[in-house]
Amino acid sequence: MLEFFKDYKKFAFFFILLSAVIITVFYSILSVDKVLPIWQPASVNQELVDTTIQHVKKYHKIADFSLINQNGKTITQEDYKDKIYIADFFFTTCPTICPIMTDHMYQIQKEILDDDEVMLLSHSVTPKIDSVAQLKRYAQQKGVNDKKWNLVTGDKKQIYELARKSYFAVLTDGNGDEYDMIHTENFMLIDKERRIRNYYDGTDPEAIQQLLEDLKTLKKEYD
């Protein structure tokens, strides 16, 4: 009988030890931090991607740019160096989805106002209409903070190429003008290496909440 209990104690000790190891392994697996995807031209809706790069499956980054913001200042990729940022495409006279998108971008601005690591960037798809003065009026109406959020205009070809070859955020118009654009509701989350980490419906409040959660996840990569 005593021998039985000795054997039982050995078995119990081994079982407890094995259980502890299994629980530790499962906890480690389940507690692994979420990692956001890195989007490539080949993995995006091909209607949004310029045909010259639809085949690209890796190493995609946002191209260099030089555009003018609501204050007449030249904005380049250097202004976003070592920053995470949220980008979109819009135009100030848009009567449909743009006001909703801008309101949601304003909500994001409030959340990141004191975060030096994060900025916003909105590109006009009608640069001839959206002059610096027009962007300034729009910025004042919408509560844009100049230190956090640039509304940019400039050369239409450059904006088109950024939209189609970098961000994958507009459709072609198809009305004869080579650089006519139909913007989407997409918000893009861009990391410090200028890579697209996710897309969000800028008209959907739930998507905006997901964006803010993903922003926290992305920031952890740089901790």
60 is in an annotated binding site: no
- Whole-number Å distance between alpha carbons of 114 and 19: 46
- CB distance 199 to 187 below 8 Å: yes
Q: Is the dihedral of CA 106, 64, 43, 177 positive or negative?
A: positive
- Mode of pairing for the β-strands spanning 66-68 and 74-76: antiparallel
Handedness of CA 66, 71, 73, 79 (dihedral sign): negative
10 to 20, 147, 200: CA distances (angstroms) = 15, 67, 56
Beta bridge partners of 75: 67
Instruction: Find the helix or strand (DSSP H, E) in which 43 lies.
Output: none
d(CA 121, CA 89): 9
Task: Please tell me whether 123 is known to bind a ligand.
Answer: no
Is 98 annotated to bind a ligand? Reply is yes
* Known binding positions: 94, 98, 183
* Known binding positions for Cu cation: 94, 98, 183
